[in-house]
Amino acid sequence: MSDARAHFDEAAGALVAGGAWHAESAVALPALHGKAVRVLDGAGITALDTNGAWLLLDAAGVHDGAALPELRAFTPQHRALMELVARHADRTGVLPPPRREGVIELTGRGAVAMGGHVAGLLDFVGRLTFELASLVGRPGQWRWREFGAQVRDVFVGAIPIVIGMMFLLGVVFAYLLGDQAVRYGANIFVVDGLLLAMLREVSPVIVAVLVAGRTGAAITAQIGTMKVNEEIDAIATLGLSPLAVLVIPRIVALLIALPMLVFIGDIAGMAGGMLVAKEQLDLSYRMFSDRMLDVIKLKTLLVGLGKAPVFAVFIAMIACRMGMTVSRDARSVGEHTTSTVVQSLVAIIILNAAFAVAFVRLGI
Amino acid sequence: MADAVIDVREVSTTLGGHAIHRGLSLSVARGEVVALIGGSGTGKSVLMREIIGFLRPQSGHIALFGQPVWDATPEQMNALRRRFGVLFQDGALFSSLSVEDNVAAPLFEHTALPRATCRRLARLKLALAGLPADVARKRPSELSGGMRKRVALARALALDPELLFLDEPTSGLDPISARAFDRLIRLLADSLGLTVFLITHDLDTLFSIIDRVIVLSAGHVLGSGTVDELKHIDDPWLRDYFAARSSGREPAHGN
């Protein structure tokens, strides 16, 4: 696409260029094999821009601190452009690529970052506790409007997906359990198994995972973007505490919303099971619900619901802290949002395992 | 005008029920440094977005280098985009790339040059934009506002465009950096033969580096000419605009 041409005149040590010289003209440069260019001849050049000028000068080795070759037969404008580029060409040498860090260095850096992360989390929890305590002293400072908006977003917005997901999980669980139970004629015990699994493990964990992905990520992205726009600083300038305005309403909203969502998930899961039981196991809705009310223990329900607030506090704290520590660029918002979801999922799994062990030890 | 780089004819724009431009026409000749001024809400930035092909006007004709912008095929538009550079108001640097890669990005995308060569050319542009050598490997977030603008200018110049659009190039800069930036734009315009179309509120810019000023008011061009010529136009906004300056001091170096 370029009509640039150039050849090297060995006798005169001259690089003779012609045509239009711009960034695409590099292909027209002849191989010089280290021969010194003493003269640049621009008589045939019809158009020249800084990229083209630099390519010619670079071929003449100007960036290495070599003296400017004689510029022969350039038009006054082209000569001025060549001289302008030559004045700034000393910085365009080949730089070594940025040093890559070795395994040891990366490990060290990772360890330091992890230490800072844990310290930062402790600091955050401390400041949050302080803020919460001062809020108890001054209940007038409680931000009802923000809190209401958060409950609406976190709770009402999540109901359809929670119902849909738990209903389908109930269908799958009941189907698989029923497939086994029907061989032993133990159809009715599917209700027992499903109830225990749904209320105690599946619903709390799955709903918490959903909320971590849905609300946790949203909280981090929102607070992070506010940080980038200096809105957090603006809140502090108004004499308000960003923790009290942004973080605490979100934590409390999640604390209230998650158990309610888990309860809705319990019902949806059992409803899914009921549907399968009728189709596959010939258990009428009436038989299913009678059996369910016979075997349900308040303890089972409370164990499941009791885990939810703990999950909620961890999700909300991780999400808010990751949002508050975003640095001022777009990539950081993405990284921190990802990190929120990963940390929340890990926290949910670890907490759930800890609960399971603790409940067995306590005989619950 | 035979050699009009920008040609805008009878453009009308309505945004959200408000008529922004009512049959607006203007043209910019090759090699001119032209400033577009006007009160807030007169559609300066909207006009620039229409000229660079981001926002379609309701009616009218816009051409760059004789090529109609709004009838161009995507290929023609891409070819056209290589011929102009844009400096956005806040620089709009890619925060995930180093300064050097920001400037080299148009070269990476639009030329077949090796990446190392693109980076070396990027450093040439950074030098031309008057930036010190050590910024090349930094991230945009580590730079001051004035430096970010210079990096953005270097990026706008990466493909050696013939035409440069600048949206409020000196806003957010201190007076010293702003004047230095003005001088840089003029120097580059003169030495590279650029046509420059800039939106500004900065009277010092108008008085120091501009060949011609175009005033937008009530949806059309109120006047066009040098600063001295515009002072004779009887318009309340324009009077107040220049009064804001002359009450302080006289232009130190008019055209």
For residues B54 and B104, membership in a common domain is answered with: no
pLDDT band per the 50, 70, 90 thresholds, residue A64: low
| Residue after which a domain boundary falls, among B160, B193, B215 | B160
- pLDDT exceeds 60 at position B125: yes
pLDDT band per the 50, 70, 90 thresholds, residue B253: very low
Q: Using CA atoms, how far apart are residues A342 and A319, in angstroms rounded to an integer? A: 10
Give contacts of A328 with chain B, Cβ < 8 Å.
95, 141
Q: Can you give the pLDDT at residue B252?
A: 45
pLDDT band per the 50, 70, 90 thresholds, residue A310: very high
Q: How far B109 CA lies from chain A's nearest CA (Å)?
A: 12
Q: Using CA atoms, how far apart are residues B255 and A100, in angstroms rounded to an integer? A: 53
- Inter-chain CB pairs, A–B, below 8 Å: 72
Question: What part of A 52-71 touches B (C-beta under 8 Å)?
Answer: 52, 54, 58, 63
For residues B156 and B77, membership in a common domain is answered with: no
Q: Is A183 on the interface with B (CB under 8 A)?
A: no
Express the helix, strand and coil content of chain A in percent, nearest 5 each: 75, 5, 20
pLDDT, tens digit (0-9, with 9 covering 90-100), for A23-54: 777 777 777 766 777 777 777 777 788 788 88
- pLDDT exceeds 70 at position A231: yes
CA distances A111 to A108, A121, A256, A337, Å, are 5, 15, 36, 21
Which DSSP letter does residue A68 get?
P
Q: Can you give the pLDDT at residue A242?
A: 85
Token pair for A232: 């957090």
Closest CB to B141: pick one of A81, A94, A329.
A329
Q: Is A319 on the interface with B (CB under 8 A)?
A: no
Question: Could you tell me which chain B residue has the CA closest to the CA of A94?
Answer: B120
pLDDT band per the 50, 70, 90 thresholds, residue A66: low
Q: What is the mean pLDDT of chain B?
A: 81
Q: In the predicted model, what is the mean pLDDT of residues B39-43?
A: 80
pLDDT band per the 50, 70, 90 thresholds, residue B225: confident
- pLDDT exceeds 50 at position B144: yes
CA dihedral sign of residues B1, B2, B8, B9: positive
Q: Is A330 on the interface with B (CB under 8 A)?
A: yes
Question: Could you tell me which chain A residue has the CA closest to the CA of B132?
Answer: A91
For residues B113 and B3, membership in a common domain is answered with: no
Count of domains in chain B? Answer: 2
pLDDT, tens digit (0-9, with 9 covering 90-100), for A274-300: 998 888 888 888 888 888 888 888 888
Element of type H or E holding B223: strand B220-225
For residues B123 and B179, membership in a common domain is answered with: no
Q: Can you give the pLDDT at residue A63?
A: 66
Q: Can you give the pLDDT at residue A47?
A: 78
For residues B253 and B165, membership in a common domain is answered with: yes
pLDDT, tens digit (0-9, with 9 covering 90-100), for A195-208: 988 998 999 999 99
- pLDDT exceeds 90 at position B43: no
**What's the gap between Cα B67 and its chain centre?**
19
Which of A8-22, A311-325, B76-90 has the highest mean predicted lDDT (pLDDT)? A311-325
For residues B212 and B98, membership in a common domain is answered with: no
Position B88 in a domain: no
- Judged by CB atoms closer than 8 Å, whether chains meet at B95 and A329 is answered as yes
Position B190 in a domain: yes
Give contacts of B119 with chain A, Cβ < 8 Å.
95
pTM above 0.80, yes or no: no
- Give the residue among A227, A219, A247 at the shortest CA–CA distance from A330: A227
| Residue after which a domain boundary falls, among B160, B181, B210 | B160
Q: In the predicted model, what is the mean pLDDT of residues A351-362?
A: 92
Q: What b/e string do you get for A241-250 counting C-beta neighbours within 10 Å, with b at 16 or more? A: bbbbbbbbbb
- pLDDT exceeds 90 at position A172: yes
Give contacts of A84 with chain B, Cβ < 8 Å.
128, 191
Q: Please say whether the beta carbons of A115 and A84 come within 8 A.
A: no
Higher pLDDT pick, B58 / A97: B58
Give contacts of A336 with chain B, Cβ < 8 Å.
none
Q: What is the CATH number of the domain that holds B193?
A: 3.40.50.300
- pLDDT exceeds 90 at position A312: yes
Q: How far B24 CA lies from chain A's nearest CA (Å)?
A: 33
For residues B189 and B231, membership in a common domain is answered with: yes
Q: Return the biggest CA–CA distance within chain A.
A: 105
- pLDDT exceeds 70 at position A11: yes
Q: In the predicted model, what is the mean pLDDT of residues B194-219?
A: 83
Which of A80-94, A341-355, B71-85 has the highest mean predicted lDDT (pLDDT)? A341-355
Closest CB to A88: pick one of B96, B110, B124.
B124
Give contacts of B142 with chain A, Cβ < 8 Å.
none
For residues B178 and B239, membership in a common domain is answered with: yes
Percentage of residues of chain A with pLDDT beyond 70: 97
Q: What is the mean pLDDT of chain A?
A: 85
Q: Using CA atoms, how far apart are residues A120 and B9, in angstroms rounded to an integer? A: 59
For residues B204 and B218, membership in a common domain is answered with: yes
Q: Using CA atoms, how far apart are residues B189 and B208, in angstroms rounded to an integer? A: 13
Give contacts of B107 with chain A, Cβ < 8 Å.
23
Q: Can you give the pLDDT at residue A260?
A: 94
- Judged by CB atoms closer than 8 Å, whether chains meet at B191 and A80 is answered as yes
For residues B112 and B168, membership in a common domain is answered with: no
For residues B34 and B118, membership in a common domain is answered with: no
Question: Could you tell me which chain B residue has the CA closest to the CA of A52?
Answer: B160
Element of type H or E holding B64: strand B59-64
Task: Give the range of the structural domain holding residue B115, as residue numbers without chain letter.
Answer: 94-160
Q: Please say whether the beta carbons of B12 and B59 come within 8 A.
A: yes
| Residue after which a domain boundary falls, among B110, B132, B160 | B160
Chosen from A95, A100, A228 to mutate, greatest number of chain B CBs within 10 A: A95
Q: Using CA atoms, how far apart are residues A32 and A34, in angstroms rounded to an integer? A: 5
- Give the residue among A223, A234, A206 at the shortest CA–CA distance from A150: A223
Helix (H, G, I), strand (E, B) or coil at A45: strand
For residues B143 and B249, membership in a common domain is answered with: no
Q: Using CA atoms, how far apart are residues A189 and B140, in angstroms rounded to an integer? A: 64
Q: Is A84 on the interface with B (CB under 8 A)?
A: yes
Q: What is chain B's length?
A: 255
